[in-house]
């Protein structure tokens, strides 16, 4: 290894899943973190509120960690900040919109006063130890998204963040391809590029292409228009505000988080705040339906969201026949049935519903294959590793890189926790650090692990039955019980008969035990467990969790 | 009401959900059931194996029910037969492929000997009481699918079953549009038509269009080809068998249910059984990978399916680098994440995976808007009610009918349990019967209801904690415990500390109670419950199910 040392790239999340994006970059005695996001729990993560990266490795870094640099303000890039700040003390650097959202998040977690948050703008380079960081403007489904060129003495590591190459974005500011090309000419040592949409052929349509679809809805709408998207999708919201002005509608925002985000975006100049345009949701009762647009949260059918509650007629805002609803976002895989359940409710209210499958009201914010190839061509990296995707995305993106001419030996499918080491003699995967997913449930962080989920899953499938028995500790006679209690097995009235029968079986079993066994509470426990297990398996083909509780009296 | 009586159409399932298809048709003192299907449980139906229609209404029919007529052999049309036969005794009439599958199903449920199963063929009319039933050949994603023209003295009710209008089907037998048109000319009183794909514009592509996509995979495949679809999709399987012959591959079938279905289809002449074409999956070890096609079940990522186990290297059949996998079916909404998890495993094995989102390897078996309009034009019904769909599908299909010229007054969005009555003076929704979804869990039918699911859901979110306390029934003193046991709250080592602290709190609480309260076990129970609830909410922000168990000693 040469004197100039090596660069180490260590993903702690996002390379093996969609979301959880978090990557550590090390050079010499210094380290940077790029993004620190959450992942939303999958169905099988019962009761889990949030998934964050395992930060154990950071303790090894100690004070080498000079800062956390954020590429944009989506939850899967900033959501784990309040948790990482419990482990390390490091300044956060973020572009304006992201900084606004981070500030709000730290305030909620009561960490604002103890944290250092710095705002940067594209083109404004700064140094952190050996790293000279150059943020490059990119287009994405949130404003103020950047790629990061991290310049080190060994060369430039280019991290794309999330991006698409939108040539006609709403604010007229396309991705800074000139700057990317400039780095390409100077030489990029390592490119780390977004793989989310690598399975899509062609080019992701421009944000502007949604305008036609939205305009059609507004033109034809006779009642209120309900519009829902991720609240941080400022360009989408801006289009809806503009259309509302065109068609003479006032805009009301329903939902606190949506209001906060709009406020941040407006303060940063991303949204026109024409006087009199916005109205309070409480004041729309007196207005004609065709004069109202409602921005509401809940495009994913979230259980407590305004939109779900409105669809079920459980909200002060009413959805009425002739109203229109636009669900302007992708159905996140796993949410389809819940969203479609919400749509059924809306149709029952008499609303016309427009969504990704029925109208051109959404486009993705991630680059498709042709854009990804263009990124590779523009930046001409020496080495390449795909980021932001499940395993199959990373593999596909690597293939794409080989198709545009990279040597397969220079491309790396790196997974969370693996160390990609680059020095003057080459690049290689060199070892592994602790990484993984940590579950947040209520106030607990990491105390719900696979084994706890297994218990919850078992309970969720067939419930449990508890048997409490008092045993005379000398004679082994049953002096109290068995008392049987169950939950989640079957209906109360049905289960009583079964419990009664099971009670008899337990007594029978215990009577057949030798006296020394009957006085051994562990053995009694085991016999009761076996009896109940067999009984419920035979009668109902169910396997409840069984809890024998023996009291020696 | 005229002397000639009325027709009553009563859906017991499928009009408000995808699946669960089951409809009763009554005239005078006679009734028919058309289809008797299941629905697969949604994520929130924890532990439920299967959903069947509520058959309570059938007891009102008594011996009026003359038979159950099956339109085709999919589970959502035949799956509930073993359950309905517990309630009623009625002959089953089915087209050949469906009859083969029904026979297998009844055998499994040990009901074959006690049931009467009759096979009918398209064009062979027969009478059941006042009904003259005319089965009409239709194309769908299973062979031997029919529409049913049910002729009554009042007129013809035309039930489309599931269908698409494929003009170039694999077996050269398109839907019998001439017969449909003939009924249109004679006059159809009521059309009941499949709404599954009503949200799709245009025309569903022909089954033959998949050939190109499959051919590309076979042409380029260097290793084994794994092919997965619903086993009853005989035309799809036939194409793969033909391609295997073309490219010099033998075919092995992995999975018992797949083997059974193939056997039934082959016996009916739907599949070519060239000698030497099929090989046993146990014998492929000695063959070259490029000589093997494997038909496997599991295209939905089902946990115990052959394909899932192969993807996880937990099967005697191995998936190796260079193998190809074709997932030739729709991802059923809600299954995407599980399927994509399986795909990640396959990519890790080194396989090339083709699926609906990445290659043209699947087309739907249901009619899109233009076909649905054509059906309405051909049959020219007096009245129309959409069937087979969620609420929004039914509403959309009704709109479509109005677009092709039906009077809105003559179209009906009927939901499960509602009675659509048609007589000489008109048609109307006239009352309601008991209908709904019944959950099958193990051997239990209907003993798991919403309230049980609520318990299971509660348990699945935060587990439970049990407190057993022995109280002296005179003094109210605690003589045993509190002993605390929990499951699914948090990791054992973490939770012990909490339980210890909670134990102290309970003792404290009980000491502060007046003596008369302490001897009242119900009051003690309530105090313990409140204490634990408050404690876990405060410390962990979790809400486990709490079970205080007080023993008077």
Q: What percent of chain B has pLDDT over 90?
A: 75
Confidence of residue A3 (pLDDT cuts 50, 70, 90): very low
Using the beta-carbon criterion (under 8 Å), do B495 and A447 form an inter-chain contact?
yes
**Best residue of A448, A467, A468, A548 to probe chain B, by most B CBs closer than 10 Å:** A448
| Range scoring the smallest mean pLDDT among A395-399, A420-424, A480-484 | A480-484
**Tens of pLDDT, residues A242-289:** 999 999 999 999 988 899 999 999 999 998 878 888 999 888 988 999
Chain B residue numbers with beta carbons less than 8 Å from the beta carbon of A347 are 391-392, 395
**Mean pLDDT, rounded, for B215-227:** 97
With a CB cutoff of 8 Å and minimum separation 6, the contacts of A257 are A231, A297
Give the distance from residue A119's alpha carbon to the nearest chain B alpha carbon, in angstroms.
34
**Among the ranges A534-543, B320-329, B512-521, which has the highest mean pLDDT value?**
B320-329
Which pLDDT does position A1 carry in this prediction? Answer: 34
Using the beta-carbon criterion (under 8 Å), do A480 and B553 form an inter-chain contact?
yes
Residue B315, CB-side half-sphere exposure with 13 Å CA sphere: 18
Residue B429 DSSP SS3? strand
Catalytic residue positions of A, numbered: 194, 366
Chain A residue numbers with beta carbons less than 8 Å from the beta carbon of B463 are 47, 452, 455-456, 459
Using the beta-carbon criterion (under 8 Å), do B358 and A199 form an inter-chain contact?
yes
**Tens of pLDDT, residues B498-545:** 999 999 999 999 888 887 788 888 888 899 999 999 999 999 888 999
Residue length of chain B: 553
Cα angle vertex A98, ends A97, A103, to 5°?
Answer: 100
Kindly tell me if the per-residue pLDDT of A144 is higher than 80.
Answer: yes
**Tens of pLDDT, residues B462-484:** 899 999 888 888 888 888 888 89
Q: Decide: B469 and B550 in contact? Cβ < 8 Å.
A: yes
State the Cα–Cα distance between residues B386 and B192, nearest whole angstrom: 5
Chain B residue numbers with beta carbons less than 8 Å from the beta carbon of A479 are none
Kindly tell me if the per-residue pLDDT of B1 is higher than 80.
Answer: no
| Mean residue pLDDT across chain B | 93
Chain B residue numbers with beta carbons less than 8 Å from the beta carbon of A448 are 490-491
Chain A residue numbers with beta carbons less than 8 Å from the beta carbon of B542 are 47, 441-442, 444
Confidence of residue B145 (pLDDT cuts 50, 70, 90): very high
Q: Indicate the residue of A336, A444, A551 with minimum beta-carbon distance to B540.
A: A444
Active site residue B194: yes
Using the beta-carbon criterion (under 8 Å), do B459 and A463 form an inter-chain contact?
yes
**Tens of pLDDT, residues B371-409:** 999 999 999 999 999 999 999 999 999 999 999 999 999
Q: Indicate the residue of B42, B490, B551 with minimum beta-carbon distance to A337.
A: B42
Concatenating the DSSP letter of every residue in A437-485 gives EEEEETTEES---HHHHHHHHHHHHH-EEEEEEEE-TTT--EEEEEEEE
Q: Indicate the residue of A42, A43, A442 with minimum beta-carbon distance to B540.
A: A442
Which pLDDT does position A363 carry in this prediction? Answer: 95
B399-426 in b/e form (b: 16+ CB < 10 A) is ebbbeeebeeebbbbbebbbbbbbbeee
Kindly tell me if the per-residue pLDDT of B3 is higher than 60.
Answer: no
Using the beta-carbon criterion (under 8 Å), do A553 and B464 form an inter-chain contact?
no
Kindly tell me if the per-residue pLDDT of B38 is higher than 90.
Answer: yes
Chain B residue numbers with beta carbons less than 8 Å from the beta carbon of A340 are 333, 390, 392
Kindly tell me if the per-residue pLDDT of B494 is higher than 90.
Answer: no
As a three-state string, the secondary structure of B283-308 is: HHHHCCHHHEEEEECCCCCCCCCHHH
Residue A126, CB-side half-sphere exposure with 13 Å CA sphere: 13
**Tens of pLDDT, residues A53-83:** 999 999 999 899 999 999 999 999 999 999 9
Chain A residue numbers with beta carbons less than 8 Å from the beta carbon of B353 are 392
**Mean pLDDT, rounded, for A334-342:** 90
State the Cα–Cα distance between residues A330 and A297, nearest whole angstrom: 14
Using the beta-carbon criterion (under 8 Å), do A340 and B545 form an inter-chain contact?
no
Confidence of residue B4 (pLDDT cuts 50, 70, 90): low
Identify the closest residue of chain B to A356 by CA–CA distance.
B199
**Tens of pLDDT, residues A152-208:** 999 999 999 999 999 999 999 999 999 999 999 999 999 999 999 999 999 999 999
**Mean pLDDT, rounded, for B205-224:** 95
Q: Decide: A325 and A319 in contact? Cβ < 8 Å.
A: yes
Q: What is the crossing angle of helices A256-267 and A234-246, to 10°? A: 90
**Among the ranges A42-46, A163-167, A501-505, B445-449, which has the highest mean pLDDT value?**
A163-167
Q: Indicate the residue of A344, A358, A491 with minimum beta-carbon distance to B451.
A: A491
Count of helix runs (H) and strand runs (E) in chain B: 16, 26
Q: Which of A450, A495, A336 is nearest to B441 (CA)?
A: A495
The two tokens of residue A105 are: 């998040």
Q: Indicate the residue of B336, B358, B468 with minimum beta-carbon distance to A549.
A: B468
As a three-state string, the secondary structure of B127-189 is: EECCEEEEEEEEECCCCCEEEEEEEECCEEEEECCCCECCCCCCCCCCCCHHHHHHHHHHCEE
Which pLDDT does position A109 carry in this prediction? Answer: 94
**Best residue of B311, B442, B450, B544 to probe chain A, by most A CBs closer than 10 Å:** B442
Using the beta-carbon criterion (under 8 Å), do A358 and B540 form an inter-chain contact?
no
The two tokens of residue A451 are: 């084994």
Give the distance from residue A151's alpha carbon to the nearest chain B alpha carbon, in angstroms.
33
**Among the ranges A66-70, A333-337, B356-360, which has the highest mean pLDDT value?**
A66-70
Tell me how many residue pairs between chain A and chain B have CB atoms under 8 A apart.
188
Identify the closest residue of chain B to A390 by CA–CA distance.
B344
DSSP secondary structure letter of residue A130: T
Q: What percent of chain A has pLDDT over 70?
A: 99
Which pLDDT does position B272 carry in this prediction? Answer: 80
Residue A252 DSSP SS3? strand
Identify the closest residue of chain B to A547 by CA–CA distance.
B485
Give the distance from residue A55's alpha carbon to the nearest chain B alpha carbon, in angstroms.
19
**Best residue of A17, A39, A41, A47 to probe chain B, by most B CBs closer than 10 Å:** A47
Which pLDDT does position A451 carry in this prediction? Answer: 84
State the Cα–Cα distance between residues A321 and A429, nearest whole angstrom: 60
**Best residue of A393, A398, A452, A499 to probe chain B, by most B CBs closer than 10 Å:** A452
Give the distance from residue B399's alpha carbon to the nearest chain A alpha carbon, in angstroms.
12
Q: Which of B532, B281, A75 is nearest to B548 (CA)?
A: B532
**A516 vs B532, more confident:** B532
């Amino acid at each position: 290894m040469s004197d100039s040392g090596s660069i180490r790239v260590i993903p702690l999340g996002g390379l093996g899943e969609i979301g959880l994006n978090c990557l550590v970059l090390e050079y010499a005695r210094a380290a940077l973190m790029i993004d620190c996001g959450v992942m939303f729990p999958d169905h099988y993560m019962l009761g889990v509120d949030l998934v964050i990266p395992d930060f154990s490795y950071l303790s090894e870094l100690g004070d080498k960690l000079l800062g956390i640099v954020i590429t944009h303000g989506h939850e899967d890039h900033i959501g784990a900040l309040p948790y990482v700040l419990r482990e390390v003390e490091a300044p956060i650097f973020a572009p304006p919109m992201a900084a606004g959202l981070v500030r709000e998040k730290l305030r909620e977690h009561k960490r604002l006063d103890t944290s250092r948050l710095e705002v940067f703008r594209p083109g404004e380079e700064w140094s952190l130890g050996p790293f000279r960081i150059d943020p490059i403007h990119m287009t994405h489904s949130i404003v103020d998204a950047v790629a990061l060129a991290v310049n080190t003495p060994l060369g430039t590591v280019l991290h794309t963040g999330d991006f698409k190459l939108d040539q006609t974005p709403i604010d007229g500011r396309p991705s800074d391809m000139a700057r990317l090309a400039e780095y390409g000419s100077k030489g990029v040592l390592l490119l780390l590029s977004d793989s989310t949409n690598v399975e899509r052929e062609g080019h992701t349509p421009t944000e502007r292409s949604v305008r036609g679809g939205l305009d059609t809805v507004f033109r034809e709408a006779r009642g209120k228009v309900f519009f829902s998207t991720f609240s941080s999708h400022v360009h989408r919201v801006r289009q809806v505000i503009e259309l509302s002005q065109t068609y003479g509608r006032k805009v009301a925002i329903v939902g606190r988080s949506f209001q906060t985000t709009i406020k941040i975006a407006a303060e940063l100049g991303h949204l026109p705040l024409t006087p009199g345009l916005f109205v309070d949701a409480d004041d729309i009762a007196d207005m004609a339906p065709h004069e109202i647009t409602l921005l509401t949260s809940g495009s994913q059918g979230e259980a407590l969201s305004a939109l779900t509650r409105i669809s079920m007629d459980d909200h002060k805002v009413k959805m009425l026949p002739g109203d229109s609803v636009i669900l302007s976002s992708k159905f996140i895989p796993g949410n389809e049935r819940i969203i479609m359940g919400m749509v059924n409710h809306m149709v029952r209210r008499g609303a016309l519903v427009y969504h990704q499958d029925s109208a051109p009201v959404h486009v993705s914010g991630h680059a498709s294959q042709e854009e990804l190839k263009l990124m590779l061509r523009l930046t001409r990296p020496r080495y390449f590793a795909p980021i932001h995707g499940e395993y199959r995305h990373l593999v596909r993106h690597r293939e794409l890189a080989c198709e545009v001419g990279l040597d397969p030996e220079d491309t790396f499918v790196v997974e969370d926790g693996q160390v990609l080491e680059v020095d003057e003699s080459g690049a290689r995967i060199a070892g592994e650090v602790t990484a993984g997913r940590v579950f947040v449930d209520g106030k607990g962080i990491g105390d719900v692990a696979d084994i706890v989920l297994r218990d919850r899953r078992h309970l969720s499938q067939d419930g449990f039955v508890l048997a409490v028995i008092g045993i005379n500790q000398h004679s082994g006679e049953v002096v109290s019980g068995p008392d049987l209690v169950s939950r989640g097995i079957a209906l109360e009235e049905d289960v009583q008969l079964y419990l009664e029968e099971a009670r008899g079986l337990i007594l029978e079993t215990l009577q057949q035990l030798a006296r020394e066994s009957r006085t051994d509470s562990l053995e009694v426990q085991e016999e009761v467990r076996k009896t109940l297990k067999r009984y419920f398996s035979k009668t109902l083909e169910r396997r409840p969790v069984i809890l024998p509780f023996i009291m020696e009296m």
